[in-house]
Structure 1
Amino acid sequence: MSVIRALLLSIGAIVSGCSGNQSALAPNGAPAIHVEHLIIWIIAVCTVVWILVMVSLGVALWRKRRVETQGRTTERRLAMTVSAAVTATVAIVAAMTIASFYTTRSIGVPGKAALTITVRAQQWWWQVIYASSDGAPGFQTANEIHIPVGEDVRLELESADVIHSFWVPSLAGKQDLVPGRANSLLLRAEKPGVYRGQCAEFCGLQHSHMAVMVVAEAQVDYASWVAAQRADAIAPADPAVASGQSAFMAKPCAACHTIRGTSANGTTGPDLTHVGSRQTIAAGLLETTRGSLAAWIVDPQTLKPGNNMPMVPLTSIELRNISAYMESLK
């Protein structure tokens, strides 16, 4: 068991390093740790079974080359061997079933959690809704979920269109998001970090470009982030940024997106109030830089064909100023 665990952890470290901390073999949350233990146990049992089968096959081949005396004794021995193999198979399958059942119970969603977040899947991005609490207003973000370390977080999962599947392998197992049905998932991080997730159910053309980032941070940092997210967008002071805001409001952008503190109140696309503070845009497709913002604004269909954002005709000056405005929304 320890050898298998060491091997899996080595593989997990390699995979995690290559994929932005996205590996079921590098768990950092209680639900993911329970799943890892189940994986290790099943692999260990299957390894033992495989070795026994190979040894039995080798013995059978070796004995076949010897002069055999046929008779009732041989038949009785074969019958006993087959019976023992069938009994062992039933016992192993039963043990795996029981282990899976108790693992599923151990990662069940508690009735009460420190934090409840609604995650609504869209084609092809994640709408994240933080409800109001203690009189403070709620807010929305997109493709990025912040949670406090060491706290149980309940995710209320919804879908606006087709079946999606939420999976952040380093923190929890998979859970489907089904239109018309509310599912939930327990999320818990034991140490700070950025954990990458992915839609794990084929949901259309851009299924592979539907990532989500879970940022686990200390309680103090999380509280600061929440306070910043609840605030409206700051009015631009730079003339170029102010010109970008005016261009944004004059174009169809404001009809699809919300920027709190302005007249933009669209609900079709992601809330952009603090888009400049997010690590990525377009559901993990690009890092949030002024250049990537400009590239996405000018031609979203080339970067992510089939998404619902139309191409909006802009002059070079308008594009430069709007991308500056987007970057300023921290």
Structure 2
Amino acid sequence: MRRARGPAAAALLAGCGGPQAPLDAWGPQAGRIAELSVLLIAGGGAILSLVVLCIALAVWAPPAVRRRLGGLGFVAGMGLAFPAITLSALLVHTLGASRALALFGAGAEPLVVEITGRQYWWEVRYPGTPGAVTANELRLPRGREVELVLTSGDVIHSVWIPNLHGKLDMIPGRANRQRLRADRTGELRGQCTEFCGRQHALMAFAVVVEEPEAFDAWLARQAAPVPAPATAAEEAGMRVFGAAGCGACHAVRGTPWEARLAPDLSRVGSRRTLAAGALPNTLGHLAGWIAAPQDIKPGNAMPAYARALSGEEILALATWLDGLR
């Protein structure tokens, strides 16, 4: 039994860390929320233990002890005074934590990032750098205050990056704002936490925290027009993109296609995932998504091209998109 305790404890502790773990705080806002969470968990555990002890005493204790448990003083103290004092103290502490969250980084000039939730993907814009638009991926510089401007293009969504902050709703016609800061580099995961349709569970996004220099270089690359096709296959894929009408929904900077109905594909080859976290971003998965998106993520707005395009055309199109980095 002793040998089993080590792996079991490691498994439990592993659940407190990772790319989507509220108790693994990467910034001050998440740190304050994690402290409050630990307080609630520890306090709830202590109160549960006390209640279990009282039940055990009421069942098995000597008659004199059981009479005291049923007395007016014990009932008034534990049933009225203790809950009132505990809940009042918790209310005061929670209001203080909420105020601290609202004041974090209030004096700093933040990096503004606009995120629009759609069924079932995320549009991410950096208004301070015209033309810098991506989808299903949020990039942040380490150590800088960031203000997320959150809205929705259709139904109510909710954005949650557990390692950085709490969740906040995204409401059509309204912009909610959330301040956060990431103090560590690496990759995290965000998720929609408001049921928004049949593919709600497959509406995630990658969060990449980089050093400021690397972030600035990435941001400049996002705003720049895409390069011309480098190979014959990429050139053929670009022609397929136009002939198939993909530009009616998607935008690719530096080309005639500037639509905003679907994800911007200007640098799609450099993204971590496809279809809002549904697939890893590889050439094979990209071709499969173009051919049969409804088999992968039923109910999304992407039409299937398996019958409209030949296998060679789909592969050429995927090759061009994969090269957009």
TM-score (norm: length of structure 2):
0.90
* Aligned residues of 1:161 and 1:179 also touching (Cα < 8 A): yes
Gaps of 5+ in 2: 1-7
Match of 1:99, SS state, is helix
Match of 1:214, SS state, is strand
How do residues 1-330 of structure 1 correspond to structure 2 at under 5 angstroms? 11=12, 13-14=14-15, 16-17=17-18, 21-63=19-61, 65-66=62-63, 78-85=71-78, 86-108=80-102, 110=106, 113-133=109-129, 137-312=130-305, 313-330=308-325
Gaps of 5+ in 1: 1-6
* Aligned residues of 1:233 and 1:274 also touching (Cα < 8 A): yes
**Residue number in structure 2 paired with 1:3:** none
* Aligned residues of 1:12 and 1:24 also touching (Cα < 8 A): no
Q: How far apart, CA to CA, are the structure 1 residues paired with 2:231 and 2:221?
A: 21
Match of 2:125, SS state, is strand
Match of 1:100, SS state, is helix
Deviations 1:168-196 (A, max 9, x none): 11111100101122111122111001110
**Residue number in structure 2 paired with 1:4:** none
Structure 1 residue 13 displacement after superposition: 2.7
The 1:167/1:67 distance shift into structure 2, 3 A limit, reads closer
The 1:111/1:306 distance shift into structure 2, 3 A limit, reads farther
The 1:28/1:155 distance shift into structure 2, 3 A limit, reads same
* Aligned residues of 1:15 and 1:22 also touching (Cα < 8 A): no
Deviations 1:82-104 (A, max 9, x none): 12111110111112222222222
Q: How far apart, CA to CA, are the structure 2 residues paired with 1:209 and 1:98?
A: 38
Structure 1 residue 279 displacement after superposition: 0.6
Q: How far apart, CA to CA, are the structure 2 residues paired with 1:25 and 1:69?
A: 41
Give every structure 1 segment of 4 or more consecutive aligned residues whose post-TM-superposition deviation is greater than 4 Å.
Answer: 7-10, 67-70
Match of 1:107, SS state, is helix
Match of 2:54, SS state, is helix
Structure 1 residue 68 displacement after superposition: 8.9
Q: How far apart, CA to CA, are the structure 1 residues paired with 2:299 and 2:9?
A: 38
The 1:68/1:160 distance shift into structure 2, 3 A limit, reads closer
The 1:194/1:152 distance shift into structure 2, 3 A limit, reads same
Letter matched to residue 314 of structure 2: L
Match of 2:63, SS state, is coil
Structure 1 residue 47 displacement after superposition: 1.8
The 1:318/1:68 distance shift into structure 2, 3 A limit, reads closer
Q: How far apart, CA to CA, are the structure 2 residues paired with 1:157 and 1:111?
A: 21
Q: Which range moved further: 112-121 or 8-17?
A: 8-17
Q: Which range moved further: 161-170 or 51-60?
A: 51-60
Match of 1:270, SS state, is coil
Q: How far apart, CA to CA, are the structure 2 residues paired with 1:67 and 1:175?
A: 53
Match of 2:179, SS state, is strand
Structure 1 residue 206 displacement after superposition: 0.2
Q: Which range moved further: 52-61 or 204-213?
A: 52-61
The 1:68/1:187 distance shift into structure 2, 3 A limit, reads closer
The 1:159/1:266 distance shift into structure 2, 3 A limit, reads same
The 1:222/1:68 distance shift into structure 2, 3 A limit, reads closer
Q: How far apart, CA to CA, are the structure 1 residues paired with 2:47 and 2:96?
A: 22
Instruction: Please report the RMSD computed on the Cα atoms of aligned residues, expressed in angstroms.
Output: 2.2
**Residue number in structure 1 paired with 2:5:** none
The 1:186/1:8 distance shift into structure 2, 3 A limit, reads farther
Structure 1 residue 54 displacement after superposition: 2.1
Match of 2:209, SS state, is strand
Q: How far apart, CA to CA, are the structure 2 residues paired with 1:198 and 1:280?
A: 13
* Aligned residues of 1:196 and 1:213 also touching (Cα < 8 A): yes
Q: How far apart, CA to CA, are the structure 1 residues paired with 2:293 and 2:51?
A: 55
Structure 1 residue 300 displacement after superposition: 0.8
Match of 2:169, SS state, is strand
